[in-house]
Structure 1
Amino acid sequence: MIATAELESAIRTAIPVQHLEIIDQSNGCGENYAVLVVSEAFEGKTTLARHRYINELLRDQIALMHAFSQKSLTPKQYQEYLAKNAGAA
């Protein structure tokens, strides 16, 4: 079982994080996580490059999971994401 704190620590240690959400979608068994990472470290990087970076960063933890999904956004993209979702509510 992977703990949310373990994922958070790995991400926060590697990059400056403006916002981080880690959601255990497996009803507490730690086998299915979704993460939303907002960092200026993603500026100028493609979505694929961002995902590869996070996947590599969490390689050992992801290997123990059944499923893993992520959103990796720049601060500007996150503001757009919040505005879009606020309009949909």
Structure 2
Amino acid sequence: MAMPAAEIESLITAALPDAQVTITDLAGDGDHYAAHVVSSAFVGKSRVAQHKLVYEALGGRMGGVLHALQLTTAVPN
């Protein structure tokens, strides 16, 4: 079951409204993506805490509808 990149971006921006999200389909199959997320919500948080915020935004879809997500996060410049 594939998940469109636009849906991933929508879920993340719903939870992190100021997020700048770049999604790349790594395998062309709708199951393996890379996401780069920049948000002020990450300021002062560890990388693990930043990633947790993104995974929470996906609402439990990781490992089910969304098979793999290579995630990088950053704070705005």
**TM-score higher than 0.5:** yes
Query: Based on CA coordinates, which of the two structures has the bigger radius of gyration?
Result: 1
Report how many aligned residue pairs link the two structures: 75
**C-alpha RMSD of matched pairs (Å):** 1.4
Structure 1 runs (4+) greater than 4 angstroms displaced: none
Q: Does structure 2 retain, via aligned residues, the 8 Å contact 1:7–1:61?
A: no
Q: Are residue 66 (structure 1) and residue 63 (structure 2) matched?
A: no
Unaligned runs of 5+ in 2: none
Q: With the length of structure 2 as denominator, give the TM-score of the two structures.
A: 0.84
1:83 alignment partner in structure 2 = none
Cα deviation 1:19-74 (Å, max 9, x = unaligned): 210011121x2110110000111111110001111112214332223321111110
Greater RCO (CA < 8 Å, at least 6 residues apart): 2
**Percent same amino acid among aligned pairs?**
35
2:18 alignment partner in structure 1 = 17
Distance in 2 separating the partners of 1:67 and 1:18: 20
Please state which structure has a larger fraction of its residues in helix: 1
Q: With the length of structure 1 as denominator, give the TM-score of the two structures.
A: 0.74
Shifted more, 64-73 versus 37-46: the winner is 64-73
